[in-house]
Structure formats: structure tokens, C-alpha cells
């Protein structure tokens, strides 16, 4: 359930959910720690420079692949796989090289001879590196040798993740350490400087920045750390004016919508037509849910919302909703049908599910449901997308404990 940022948002959430198990599932991750040598050391060697010809050279609209381009690609692959850096850490470096290689072959149609060459190359690798046979076989899948060629080549950012080993960067809801923030920024900066990303910045920079927000959402930034990250985005906008729109949106999210920031104001009318504001609930813990009856995953939250209203009836806890259904009538019927009694702003202003109402837009929400938990001072403590079920109640209980 989403609007602009569609696939990126879904992929980002799935990556964050699996950020700590990337090694188990074989998704290429960045497992090299930072050193004092500079930002580039945040990347594994396979992504620290351009090992292969440009992706665009192989985006030929599904035509047969030119033999010269094929031979050039095979030569580069051989150099990459036999490099000293690859041999020193074959499991991770080779996986990235093979993924990078495979991306260049998903669009062109390979001749029978070319397919045989690639098949033989992978078979030789499996024989030479028996302990990594599963990883090599997984990368063979990307080649789509038996499938119709793909319409588009996926950019570098859609098959790698800059925070694959993000466990060390997770403060578990507490404040980030300065070193963690430096590494979070350093990883994404090094990634955005890769030649493949620079050449297609508008396409390939979006995903790592969405993922960066997800990682920053695991903890809280101090004002100084927020300024550090915002200043970095100012620099990015200056260097990449072609990406100014989504860079500014990302900067806004970091400045206003991450844990540690005071929640933006909301003023509007409830389902009964009475105007009210978010600020009226200062002094209470607020669970703010962006939802809609049109949204399937939102329905999974209803039993927990009813339970929350009963559980916290005599506690300083308020459940509020920003609703994006197509009409106020739909909202009223849904609330009655589901037995929901919490207060709601209706943010719908067009036919069908309205995903860009003024409140939704101000809060930059593009996944439904999205839940913000605010403390008594109106500071965002937790942001979650997708059905949370009992997790929201657990988070509220933990916050209540802080005030006891």
C-alpha cells in the first residue's frame, strides 16, 4: 500500500527486516569495518572502484549481445575474481563481483556460444571453490539464462545494501554514538560516489537514502548529529542538482520525522467536524497511525487498536489516526463496523484512496500503515511501517515505564 517511492519503500523495508540475516540468505552486504583511511573504506573492495564496463553498455533493449562487449565483460570478470582483494575475502567479494557481472547480462540476449561460456565459467568456479558452491549457484540465478531477457537493468543500488551488517549501528532506540553516525553517513557517501551510481544518480541514489532513513530510525539523533546529517544533504544537493527533489525530501524526513525530533504540527477536523490539534495531546504518549479502510495491512491493526483503547483507558496514552479514505462516509462506516473509537483526522480529498492529502504530505508518509509513537513532550520516539500488531503496545509500555 504505497504511493511514489513504491518499489523502493517495499525493498527498503524488506532489507531492514533482514538486515541482520543478510549473510544467511546470501544477499550481498557490506561487511567491512571503517578504517581511518577515508570514506571509501566503508565499502568492500568489489564496490570501491569500477571493476566492470559501464552498465549502460549492456542495456541494449534485448538485442543479441555484441561479441566484443561480451569478451570485454568476461575479461573484466576474470580480473576481478582473481584480484588479491577477492582472494583474501572470497565469500563476500566474489559474491558482489558475480552480482555485478550478472546485472550486465539480464537485458541482452546471449548467443548459444556465450551462454555456454558463462555456464562453463560458473561450473569451473564451483569446482575451484567448493566451499562457496551455494553462493556461486545463487548468483547463477541472476543470469536468467532460461528466461526472457529483462526489460531493464537494475541499478547498483537495487541489488546491494550499504547497511547489510547494520547490527553494530543499531542503538536499539537509544541515542546514536558519534562514531555510528559517522559510519552511517560514510557508508552511503561512499556508495553514492561509485561511478555506476554517479552516472544514474536520480535512479540509483534513492534506494540507499531510503535505507539510510530506515537505519537512522532505529535510534535517536542528538541536535548536533541531526545537523551533521542535514549538512551532508546540503552538500549532496549542491553536487547533484538533478536529484534535488528527492534529496530535499530525504533531508526533511531526517530533520523532522525521525526519532528524536519534535513532531510536526497537525491541525484539522475530526470525524464529527470538530477542529483539533496534535499539540492538544502534549503531556500524553501519542500513538499516531496513518491508515485507511482501503489498506489491507491496516485491518490487521484494528484488534490491537481496540485492545489499546481498553488497556490504556486510565493511562496518559492517546491513539490518533490520519485517515486517507476517499470520503468521510467511508471513514464513519469503517469505524462503526470495526468498533474503533479513537479520534481521527480525515485527510481524504479525492476519489479513491487519497495518499497525498495535506497531513500525509507534510509527514512524508508513503507506506500504509505508518505508526509514529510520541512521548509526552511531543518528541518522536519510534517510527514503524507496515502492520505492527502487538509491537506498538510493547513500545508504549516501555515508554510508560520511563515515566514511572
pLDDT of residue 201: 94
pLDDT at 38: 42
In this predicted structure, the answer to whether residue 15 has a pLDDT above a threshold of 80 is no
Q: Return the closest-CA partner of residue 69 out of 80, 81, 57, 52.
A: 57
Give domain limits for the chain. Answer: 1-260, 267-402
pLDDT, tens digit, for every residue of 105-158?
A: 988 999 999 999 999 999 999 999 999 999 999 888 777 654 556 677 777 877
pLDDT at 292: 93
* Residue percentage of the chain with pLDDT more than 70: 85
Q: What is the pLDDT of residues 52-90, one digit of tens each?
A: 999 999 999 989 999 999 999 999 999 999 999 999 999
**Count, residues in the chain:** 404
Contact criterion met (CB below 8 Å) for 370 and 383: yes
pLDDT at 161: 74
- Contacts for 251 with CB less than 8 Å, ≥ 6 apart: 230, 233, 234, 237
Q: Which three cell numbers stand for residue 56?
A: 549502460
Among the listed residues 159, 203, 136, the one whose alpha carbon sits nearest the alpha carbon of residue 15: 159
Mean pLDDT, range 162-186, rounded to an integer: 87
Beta bridge partners of 175: 220
Cell for 384?
Answer: 514503524
Q: Is 309 helix (H, G, I), strand (E, B) or coil?
A: helix
Question: Rounded mean pLDDT of 298-305?
Answer: 96
Looking at residues 370-396, what average pLDDT do you find? 94
Q: Is residue 94 pLDDT above 80, yes or no?
A: yes
Indicate if the pLDDT at residue 20 is higher than 50: no
For the chain, give the percent of residues with pLDDT over 90.
66
Q: How far apart are CA 321 and CA 344, in angstroms?
A: 5
Residue 151's pLDDT is what?
72
Q: What is the mean pLDDT of the chain?
A: 85
- pLDDT of 34-49, one tens digit each? 334 444 457 788 988 8
Which residues are within 8 A (CB) of 123 and not within 5 positions of it... i.e. 6 or more apart?
none
pLDDT of residue 31: 41
* Spatial contact of 364 and 346, defined as CB atoms under 8 Å apart: no
**Least reliable range by pLDDT among 133-147, 263-277, 385-399:** 133-147
36-39 long-range CB contacts below 8 Å, 24 or more apart? Answer: 39/186, 39/189, 39/190, 39/193
Return the pLDDT at 241. 96
Q: Tell me the C-alpha distance between 144 and 149, whole Å.
A: 7
* Residue 140 pLDDT: 84
Please state, in angstroms and rounded to a whole number, the distance separating the CA atoms of residues 252 and 258: 10
Contacts of residue 209, defined as CB under 8 A and 6 or more positions apart, other chains included, come to 188, 246, 247, 250
CATH dotted code for 267-402: 3.40.30.10
Q: Give yes or no for residue 260 having a pLDDT over 80.
A: yes
| Four-residue CA torsion sign, 58, 64, 66, 69 | positive
DSSP secondary structure letters along 149-175: PPSSPPPGGGT-BTTTTGGGG--TTSB
Amino acid at each position: 500500500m504505497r504511493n511514489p517511492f513504491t518499489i523502493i519503500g517495499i525493498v527498503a523495508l524488506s532489507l531492514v527486516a533482514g538486515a541482520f540475516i543478510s549473510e544467511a540468505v546470501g544477499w550481498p552486504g557490506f561487511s567491512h569495518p571503517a578504517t581511518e583511511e577515508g570514506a571509501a573504506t566503508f565499502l568492500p573492495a568489489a564496490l570501491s572502484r569500477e571493476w566492470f564496463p559501464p552498465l549502460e553498455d549492456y542495456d541494449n533493449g534485448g538485442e543479441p549481445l555484441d561479441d566484443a562487449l561480451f569478451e570485454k565483460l568476461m575479461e573484466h570478470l576474470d580480473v576481478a575474481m582473481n584480484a588479491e582483494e577477492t582472494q583474501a575475502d572470497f565469500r563476500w567479494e566474489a559474491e558482489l563481483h558475480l552480482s555485478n557481472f550478472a546485472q550486465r547480462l539480464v537485458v541482452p540476449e546471449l548467443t548459444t556460444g556465450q551462454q555456454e561460456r558463462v555456464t562453463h565459467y560458473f561450473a569451473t568456479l564451483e569446482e575451484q571453490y567448493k566451499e562457496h558452491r551455494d553462493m556461486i549457484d545463487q548468483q547463477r540465478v541472476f543470469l536468467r539464462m532460461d528466461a526472457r531477457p529483462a526489460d531493464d537493468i537494475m541499478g547498483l543500488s537495487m541489488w546491494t545494501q550499504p547497511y547489510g551488517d547494520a547490527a553494530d549501528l543499531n542503538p536499539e532506540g537509544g541515542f546514536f554514538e558519534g562514531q555510528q553516525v559517522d559510519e552511517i553517513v560514510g557508508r552511503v557517501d561512499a556508495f553514492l560516489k561509485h561511478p555506476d551510481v554517479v552516472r544514474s544518480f536520480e535512479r540509483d541514489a534513492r534506494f540507499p537514502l531510503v535505507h539510510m532513513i530506515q537505519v537512522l530510525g532505529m535510534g535517536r539523533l542528538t541536535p548536533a548529529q541531526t545537523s551533521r546529517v542535514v549538512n551532508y544533504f546540503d552538500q549532496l544537493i549542491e553536487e547533484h542538482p538533478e536529484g534535488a527533489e528527492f534529496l530535499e525530501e530525504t533531508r526533511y524526513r531526517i530533520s523532522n520525522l525521525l526519532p528524536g525530533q519534535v513532531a510536526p504540527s497537525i491541525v484539522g477536523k475530526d470525524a464529527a467536524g470538530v477542529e483539533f490539534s496534535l499539540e492538544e495531546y502534549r503531556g500524553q504518549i501519542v500513538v499516531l497511525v496513518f491508515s485507511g479502510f482501503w489498506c489491507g495491512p491496516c485491518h490487521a491493526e484494528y484488534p490491537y487498536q481496540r485492545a489499546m483503547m481498553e488497556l490504556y483507558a486510565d493511562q496518559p496514552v492517546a491513539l490518533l489516526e490520519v485517515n486517507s479514505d476517499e470520503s468521510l462516509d467511508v471513514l464513519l462506516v469503517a469505524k462503526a463496523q470495526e468498533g474503533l473509537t479513537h479520534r481521527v483526522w480525515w485527510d481524504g480529498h479525492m476519489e479513491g484512496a487519497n495518499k497525498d492529502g495535506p497531513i500525509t504530505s507534510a509527514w512524508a508518509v508513503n507506506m500504509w500503515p505508518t505508526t509514529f509513537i510520541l512521548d509526552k513532550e511531543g518528541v518522536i520516539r519510534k517510527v514503524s511501517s507496515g502492520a505492527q500488531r502487538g509491537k506498538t503496545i510493547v513500545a508504549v509500555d516501555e515508554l510508560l515505564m520511563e515515566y514511572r
